[in-house]
Structure 1
Amino acid sequence: MEGVTALSLLPPALALAMIIVTRRVLPSLGAGILTGALILNDWGVLSALSDIWDSFAVLFVTDGALNDWELFIILFLLLLGITASLISFSGGSRAFGNWALHRIKTRTGAQIATFVFGILIFIDDYFNSLTVGQVSRPVTDRHRISRAKLAYIVDSAAAPICVLAPLSSWGAYIITLLDDITSEYSDVSMSGFQTFLAVLPMNFYALSAITLLFFVILWNIDIGPMRRHEERALLHHQLLDPNRSHIPGEQVSNLDEHNGRVRDLVIPIAALIVSTVIFMVYTGVRAAETVTPITIFAETDVALSLVLGGCTGLIVSVLFTFGKRPAAGAFLQAVWNGARSMLPAIYILILAWMIVSFIEELQTGEYIAWLIDGNVSASLLPAILFITAGLIAFSTGTSWGTFTILLPIAADTASVIDITMLLPFLAAVIAGAILGDHISPISDTTILSSTGAGSHHIDHVITQLPYAIIAAAVSFVGFIVLGVTGSTTAGLAVSLVLLLLTALYLKNTIETLHDGKEVVSKPE
């Protein structure tokens, strides 16, 4: 591939390796950024440093205009942190935890409630990751569920759910891409929406990840590093690794919480959710030339909607807090604590955005896609495309970028080899992109899931990885079956049966941490 070499793999590979070895995210991302800049500037140090500064500045200002996407995401994080802090300060979190404890009496019930809430908030992965974690935390904390486990539940009910929902920002984006792709081939009579529905049952990874999450919750399957976190939480009442600090989203306050009520949490969060959905519909209607449910979510301004919804939630939480007549100093301290709690996540996001910009300029994704051997049998290509898309999304931290790069390549490959393989090829790319996004330390969704859950970022990445590998392995086999037989039913059945057998094996071989007894802390 002209102009692109294997060196394009070095920055993401270095960053990912350092994250795994050192467990320190910021220095690792910094090393990847510096390496990418040096490669792009022929190893010139001064020009590389200048390029790094430009990549930072362009996150906020482009051609003299504000780059509102990144700014709005950062602003929403600050708004959410302040809102959560005020809810805690007003006693809403404590009251909600006590209320839920009387109704959700088991650890399994608390996890299932979080899982169901994540499914219901399918409209956008950013919104899902942050909101579900913040709302569920008071309940899961009371039931001694580790923050790493909460982050895994939140993350597995974010992108894997959103990618299956046509009326979501993900679904709308994919449908738009598929519509452009299918219109290029006279042999394909389906619209983008019809194609999206057709490939849904072939998205083996998303379906496997969600199903595995249900088994993990139901049967307490705590494996690998997750077991250590759950053991620490259950037996020692430590929800976080005590050796780590600066947890994103963690509310640290020495202030006395006011006597709160359940409504102090429920109404501000409900206002945030409802208003965000309304603003997403409103901005989508304004931007869409033809107003349909799909075009609304395809054209909606997610970042602006999150900020406006966040402002609404914050205003409501401020009003409820003022109703308790707090001291001005204590109120301002709570506001500062909320903003400060989100700073670690913002630092990680900024560096992740910067390294992604260098990875895009190095054309890392295109290089990996180019490595696909065109001489491979068509029956094996779904499995190969699945792994390729996973590697691209893992390396670049973006599933949407992977869709953009690889879906057209997959379609062109099908048109040359066998047009009847178009749907399996497209499905394999979408499923692989979700896999890579799910396990990448530099993925926005991974970062925001750990932030919403109040978990340390690297703890979330490491504890989630074994479960993602299991879902990926059974999906890989499913895509082989799909390619060989051409049967969606056979591929999906093989994936889910293998997943069930694996879950049953783990259930029967791993001793439960609490000997089958539910541990519930007493209401305060």
Structure 2
Amino acid sequence: MNLLKTLCLIPQFPKVLTFIAMRKILNVLILLFITVRAFSQPDFSVEKPEVIIEGVPTEISLHFDDLPTSNTVLINGSKYTINSNEKTAVVEHKFSSDDEQLSVQAGTTTKTSPINPISLWLSIVPPLLAILMALIFREVLTSLFLGIFTGTAIIGYHNDGLAGIGSGFLSIFDEYVIGALNSWDHLAVILFSMTIGAVVTVISKNGGMQGVVNRISKKAKTAKGGQLATYILGISIFFDDYANTLVVGNTMRAVTDKLKVSREKLAYLVDSTAAPIAAVAFVTTWIGAELGYIQDGVNTIPQLSEGAYSIFLNSLSYSFYPIFTLVFVLMLILFQRDFGPMLKAENKARKTGEVLSESSNMANSELEEFERKEGIPMRPINAIIPVLIIVLGTIIGLFYTGWDSQIWQDESLGLTRKLSYIIGQSDSYTSLLWSSLTGLVVSILMTIGQRLLSLQEVMDSVVGGYKSMITAMMILTLAWSLAQITQDMHTAAFLKQLWSPELSPVFIPSITFLLAALVAFSTGSSWGTMAILYPLLLPATYQIAASAGFEHGEIMPLFYNVVSCILAGSVLGDHCSPISDTTILSSLSADCHHIDHVRTQLPYALSVGGVAIFFGTLPAAFGIPSWILFPVGIGMLVLIVRYLGKSSV
């Protein structure tokens, strides 16, 4: 103590002591800062989706004010890794029915917000209600609207209670209908469809369509001949299902009307030649999407090095439903037999000449738009040239938008594969827009140039053609809106739960076919079904078969069968669904009441689907060669037509 007092008398000692103390305090502060920094994060905000479904991965977006200091976050107690070099992070988390709030912890900061996850089974209610309402009451606009409202009401109630039902009602227009119209692809379909309607109106008013009817009637003097001509035209326009549907339906309607073929039968011929031929042809607008979906599934199978295009080609030997459908349609025409509701519609048309159902899509005033002006010549060329421009122009547009000189010059690729790649990566919607606009302008110039109609009359016809498609576009827009509801509510995830990986591998193709048909029927989208099921079922098929002791050589036939079944089941479900866009377009292009089209087509589609499963898909999984199964299946279709069908002459 005396020594310390002595040292304190030295003038410099207090300064030294103060300096040492300050150093220690500073070190403590630095250590404290480092410790706090290690356990804290910059402030952040949390963005969660409006729709949270129980048991389905939900994307949670985190936005940090500065780079995060840790690469982990906790969401409702579960740890997730994030990129500490980015200010934004997206984490997928599955919520349970017990979760009442979203809790996100980054370092020492925690953000919470209330949530109320929707039970997954509720996701099937909106599309199921819309389908049942449409089939029972035969009024598709109201059915689609109620389906959409049911979905928005469920979402609104889970977010805001009873008050959310009102906000859900308001969101029908400002979120879902506007969302459907805010898609470039959807707007292109609307504009193309309405322009096709305008072309048909102009070539009807200027006598060109009547000239075609008269010319074809000389060759096709019977209902059988008219249906056969429709079938051949449908097969010929194989490159795009939308172009097929709109061109064939609008072009052949006047011909089949004169030959007393019901509008229901015309809609069936159009619908059952469009998607089936587009799905299996080598050069179509479908091929690019199909190959992309297949590749997504193949990428997760390390044992498989085969390319997507080769897999697609090998799967064609198992494409029973699309091929059987094309054969079945031809049989109905050649044997002149029908059954079920279609037989009643055909008998009515033959006996009374009334091809329209009691509730046609068009009013009489709208049908007058398609009547020829009296006193003008009926020249088939005035209709043939615009239609050919639309068909050939679409093909040229597909090549132009998809052209790739490197692919074309690649000597390792055959001609078919080159064409498939080019068409597959083309922009079909742009091609359709270009071709329809050119066809409309040419039809107008030909009409005015021959002085068949005045400029005022031509433009009135154009406006009338656009107006005639308003109902069609309303239905299509609501169908797209309902499809968005099913996507937001993860309806497909509910349907996927029906899949059981414990089943024997030989039953996988048949169950895949049924599951794909169910998903397409419920969502109204064959492309959406393929996008969902290919990445899910292709790796599952390979893994299940391998686990069951199958060798690679034994797995591949089963694998090709599953690839085909996803596509075939998607087309079947699309054919049966009242909310499918191609089904809607088929009925509208034929001016057949939409529910009448679904009701008359359903027995045919289910009959072919049953034959495809029991005489194609299932025995093929047991190893029976396709060259045996195709003749057997076609033989069964012959028996169905001959013994169930009755003459509709």
Q: Could you tell me the TM-score, scaled by structure 1's length? A: 0.92
Counterpart of 1:520 in structure 2 is none
Aligned-pair identity (%): 34
Q: Letter of the 2:564 partner, please give it.
A: A
Equivalent residue for 2:165?
45
Q: CA deviation at 1:513?
A: 3.3
Q: C-alpha offsets along residues 220-244 of structure 1, whole Å, 9 cap, x if unaligned?
A: 2221221222122111111101344
Is residue 540 of structure 2 the alignment partner of residue 413 of structure 1?
yes
The equivalent position to 1:297 in structure 2, one of 409, 414, 423, is 423
**Separation in 2 of the partners of 1:218 and 1:363?**
44
Correspondence 1:252-401 to 2 at 5 A: 252-253=368-369, 256-257=373-374, 258-285=376-403, 290=407, 292-325=418-451, 326-401=453-528
- TM-score relative to the length of structure 2: 0.75
Give the aligned residue type for 1:256.
K
SS at match of 2:338: coil
Partner of residue 633, structure 2 = 495
Closer/same/farther in 2, CA of residues 145 and 270 from structure 1, 3 Å limit: same
Q: CA deviation at 1:59?
A: 2.5
Q: Where does residue 58 of structure 1 map in the other structure?
A: 179
How many residues were matched structurally? 505
User: How far did 1:378 drift?
Assistant: 1.4
Matched, 1:465 2:602: yes
Write out per-residue CA displacement over residues 339-363 of structure 1, whole angstroms, 9 at most, x where no aligned residue: 1111111010000000000001111
Deviation at 1:328, TM superposition (A): 4.2
Amino acid at match of 1:303: Y
Residue 235 of structure 2 is matched in structure 1 by: 119
- Report the Cα distance in structure 2 between the residues aligned to 1:201 and 1:230, rounded to whole angstroms: 34
Distance across 2 between alignment mates of 1:381 and 1:47:
43
1:392-424 C-alpha deviation (Å, 9 max, x unpaired): 000000011110111122112212211502112
> 1:179 is matched with which residue?
295
Specify the code of the residue in structure 2 equivalent to 1:513. S
Q: CA deviation at 1:7?
A: 0.7
Residue type at the aligned position of 1:461: V
How far did 1:132 drift?
Answer: 1.1
Instruction: Report the RMSD for the aligned CA atoms in angstroms.
Output: 2.1
Q: Distance in 2 between matches of 1:466 and 1:441?
A: 14
Contact 1:150 1:453 in 2 (8 A): yes
Note if 1:8 corresponds to 2:123. yes
User: Residues 247, 429 of structure 1: CA spacing in aligned structure 2 closer, same or farther, 3 A cutoff?
Assistant: farther
Q: Write the deviation string for residues 313-343 of structure 1: whole angstroms up to 9, x where unpaired.
A: 0011001111243234433332222111111
2:591 to 454, 457, 464: 454
Q: Would you identify which runs of 4 or more consecutive aligned residues in structure 1 move more than 6 Å?
A: 247-250
Larger CA deviation: 98-107 vs 17-26: 98-107
**Deviation sequence 1:3-42 (CA, Å, 0-9, x none):** 4611111011100000000000000000100011112222
Q: Greater share of strand residues, 1 or 2?
A: 2
Corresponding position: 1:147 with 2:263: yes
2:573 to 433, 436, 447: 436
1:384 CA displacement: 1.0
Counting only pairs closer than 5 Å after superposition, residues 72-151 of structure 1 correspond to structure 2 as 72-151=188-267
Aligned-partner residue type, residue 116 of structure 1:
I
Query: Does the 8 Å CA contact 1:249/1:342 hold for their aligned counterparts?
Result: no
- Larger RCO, structures 1/2 (Cα 8 Å, 6+ apart): 1
- Structure 2 Cα separation of the partners of residues 388 and 249 of structure 1: 44
Seen in structure 2, the aligned counterparts of structure 1 residues 169 and 229 have a Cα distance that, compared at 3 Å, is same
Query: Distance between the aligned counterparts of 1:249 and 1:156, measured in 2?
Result: 30
Unaligned 5+ segments in structure 1 are: 62-66, 515-524
